[in-house]
Amino acid sequence: MKPVTNNDHLSRIKITGYKSIAECDLPMGCLNVLIGANGAGKSNFISFFRLIATVLDHRLQSLVGKMGGPDTLLHFSRKKTEYMSSELYFGHNGYKFELESTNDNRMMFRHESLFGDISGDYDIGSGHFESQVDKHHTGINDDTLPAMLRWRVYHFHDTSDSARVKQTHRINDNDYLREDGANLAAFLYRLQKHHPQHYRRIIKTIQMVAPFFGDFYLRSTPDNADYIQLEWTEKEQDIPFKASELSDGTLRFILLATVLLQPENYMPGSIIIDEPELGLHPYAINVLAGLIKNASNKHQIIISTQSVELVNQFDADDLIVVDKQQGASTFKRLNHEMLSEWLEDYSLGELWKKNLLGGRPQR
């Protein structure tokens, strides 16, 4: 594992009592690739970062209500789990909290605090229903809160006709690429106008996996100059096509390339993606792996995957094996040295398929 050296990056995460995760204490590196069978808990681990974003945005109760109450968030419901908790470490500093259910189906902070090796714990309090961490200005807060706010969890699974990425959207919605890519056209339009080098790099990378692709056709909609919709052209053609005429895999790769090749000052502190390989050709997966590894040189990357092809592109130290034992998700980092003899004859993906790493369906 390549350890994090930037205090903006998560160096360790502890989770207890959340969904399938009864207990997790995991060191985090620059590149973190979760592998495991369906239902093992990879998506629950990824969703925890969305929970943190929701908590920091003071929308915890809204989320709890939409999810159907606290039981959906607690490990085997409140009958088994009294409260959920987490500790997030950023070098020497961090943030921790405990959430418990209430009789009126809300979740309340049983405890919330910041902590540091030098200053110790800074107690924020208990009994509140939305996070109070941003109301306390301390040196620890100045380090940890901005880091957590710079996380972005991307989810590009929806490429149906009704997917937001295919719809018109405001042309000035371009500060950052949204988590579902809904403002892709507006964001690309900004890059085309103000960051042409990055824009051309995105185009050339797309052409590596889709040789027919020419360019994006970025313009305001004819009926309303305040809106834009994703359009594109084939090579040596000038007739624009809608996003609906891209294959699902090509559209997802476009979104991923845009995330991983955007200008440095737009980049999230940590990039978190659930199953980025979905719908991609094996060659596109290889190109994607290169983009991920390159981005991890400066940014923390957390992904989950079920792709043997993608796993083959990484080192053993990058992998986190997710299994399920007695209804609870377990998380284990691999060690390259322990696998060195096996890796002389087999690829990581082959070892995974042979169930020598774990992370395969179990009876």
Q: Percent of the chain scored above 90 by pLDDT? A: 82
Q: What average pLDDT does the segment 275-297 reach? A: 96
State residue 92's pLDDT score. Answer: 87
Do 316 and 332 meet the contact criterion of CB atoms below 8 Å apart?
no
Sheet with 231-234, edge to edge strand ranges: 213-216, 231-234, 241-242
Q: What average pLDDT does the segment 269-291 reach? A: 96
Give 362's pLDDT tier (boundaries 50, 70, 90). low
Beta strands at 83-90 and 93-101: parallel, antiparallel or unpaired:
antiparallel
Q: DSSP for 239-279, please give it.
A: --EEGGGS-HHHHHHHHHHHHHHS-GGG--SEEEEE-TTTT
User: Has residue 99 got a pLDDT over 70?
Assistant: yes
Give 226's pLDDT tier (boundaries 50, 70, 90). very high
State residue 229's pLDDT score. Answer: 97
What distance in Å separates the CA atoms of residue 90 and residue 288, rounded to the nearest whole number? Answer: 28
User: Has residue 224 got a pLDDT over 80?
Assistant: yes
pLDDT greater at residue 343 or residue 274:
274
Structural tokens at position 46: 């990824």
Question: CA separation (Å) from 259 to 177, 211, 236, 242, 348?
Answer: 7, 20, 26, 21, 26
State residue 61's pLDDT score. Answer: 98
**Cα atoms found within 13 Å of the Cα of residue 291, Cβ hemisphere only:** 27
Entry pTM: 0.94
State residue 363's pLDDT score. Answer: 57
